[in-house]
A = this chain, B = another copy of it.
Amino acid sequence: MTLPSTLLENAVDQLATLPGIGRRTATRLALDLLRREPEAVRRFAMAIHELREKVRYCDECCTISDSPICGICSAPMRDRSLICVVEDIRDVVAFENTRQYNGLYHVLGGVISPMDGIGPEDLNMAKLLERAGNGEVKEVILALSATLEGDTTCFYLNKRLKERGAIVSVIARGISVGGELEHVDELTLGRSIMDRKPYGAGSSGT
Contact = CB atoms under 8 A, between A and B. Distances in A.
Nearest to A13: B47
Interface in A15-47: 15, 17-21, 25, 27-34, 36, 38, 41-47
A45 B46 CA distance: 7
Nearest to A58: B4
A51 B2 contact: no
B64 A28 contact: no
Interface string A93-124: 10011000000000000000000000000000
Interface in A162-184: none
Contacts of A25: 20
B50 A7 contact: yes
Contacts of A7: 50-51, 54-55, 64, 66
Contacts of A30: 48, 51
A8 B42 contact: no
A64 B8 CA distance: 8
Nearest to A17: B44
Contact of A72 (B4, B45, B93): B4
- Chain A interface mostly: helix
Interface stretch (A84-92, A127-135, A146-154): A84-92
A6 interface: yes
Contacts of A17: 44
Contacts of A45: 45-46, 48-49
Contacts of A188: none
A52 B41 contact: yes
A91 to B, nearest CB: 11
B4 A65 contact: yes
Contacts of A48: 11, 14-15, 30, 33, 41, 44-45, 48
Given A3-B89, A18-B32, 10 more contacts: A2-B93, A4-B70, A11-B51, A31-B88, A31-B89, A33-B48, A34-B55, A36-B52, A41-B48, A45-B48
